[in-house]
Structure 1
Amino acid sequence: MFKKVEIEAKTQQEALKKATELLKISANKISLEIIKEKKGFLGVGASTTYVASPKVDLVTEGKQYLESIIRALGIETRMEIRSVSPTEFYYRVQSNENALLIGKDGKTLLSFQTLLRNYLASFTSEPILVTLDIGNYHENRKKQLEILATKTAKEVARTRIAVKLDPMNAFDRRIIHAKLAEWRDVETESEGEGEDRAIIIRAKKN
Structure 2
Amino acid sequence: MTFKEFSGKNVEEAIRAAMKEFGADLGDLDIEILSQGSRGILGVGTDEARILAAPKSAVAEAASVRADSPPEPIAEMPQETVEQTDAEALTPVETDDGGLTPVMADEPAAPSASRSRSRGRGREATGASTRSSREGRPPRERRPAEPRNGDTRPEPRPFVPAKPMEELSESERATLDEAKSVLEELLRLMELPGTVEVAMGTEAAKLNVVGDDLGVLIGRRGEKLASLQHIVNLIVARREGQLNRIMVDVENYRGRREDQLRDVADRAAQRVAQSGKIIQLKAMPAMERRIVHLALSEHEAVRTQSVGVEPNRRVVILPANKVG
Question: Which TM class, normalised by the smaller chain length?
Answer: 0.5 to 0.7
Is 1:59–1:83's contact at 8 Å kept on the other side of the alignment?
Answer: no
User: With CA pairs under 8 Å and 6+ residues apart, which has the higher RCO, 1 or 2?
Assistant: 2
Aligned to 2:178: 61
Structure 2 portions without partners, runs of 5+: 1-152, 155-172
Q: Go from structure 1 to structure 2 and tell me whether the alpha carbon gap of 1:156 and 1:83 turns closer, same or farther (over 3 Å shift).
A: closer
Cα deviation digits, residues 127-176 of structure 1 (max 9, x gap) = 63322221121222122111110111111112222222111122322221
Q: Go from structure 1 to structure 2 and tell me whether the alpha carbon gap of 1:161 and 1:83 turns closer, same or farther (over 3 Å shift).
A: closer
Residue of 72, 77, 83 corresponding to 2:194 = 77
> Aligned pair 1:204/2:316, yes or no?
no
Alignment of 1:1-206 (within 5 A): 57-82=174-199, 89-122=205-238, 123-125=240-242, 128-205=244-321
CA distance in 1, matches of 2:297, 2:244: 25
Calculate the TM-score normalised by the size of structure 1.
0.63
Q: Go from structure 1 to structure 2 and tell me whether the alpha carbon gap of 1:134 and 1:162 turns closer, same or farther (over 3 Å shift).
A: same
Q: Go from structure 1 to structure 2 and tell me whether the alpha carbon gap of 1:141 and 1:79 turns closer, same or farther (over 3 Å shift).
A: same
Is 1:189–1:201's contact at 8 Å kept on the other side of the alignment?
Answer: yes
Aligned to 1:11: none
CA distance in 2, matches of 1:143, 1:166: 17
Is 1:162–1:202's contact at 8 Å kept on the other side of the alignment?
Answer: yes
RMSD: 2.7
CA distance in 2, matches of 1:159, 1:179: 20
Q: CA deviation at 1:108?
A: 1.3
The structure with more strand, counted as a fraction of residues: 1
Is 2:305–2:317's contact at 8 Å kept on the other side of the alignment?
Answer: yes
Aligned to 1:37: none
Number of residues paired by the alignment?
Answer: 149
The ranges of structure 1 where at least 4 consecutive aligned residues each deviate by more than 6 angstroms after the TM superposition are none
Structure 1 portions without partners, runs of 5+: 1-21, 24-55
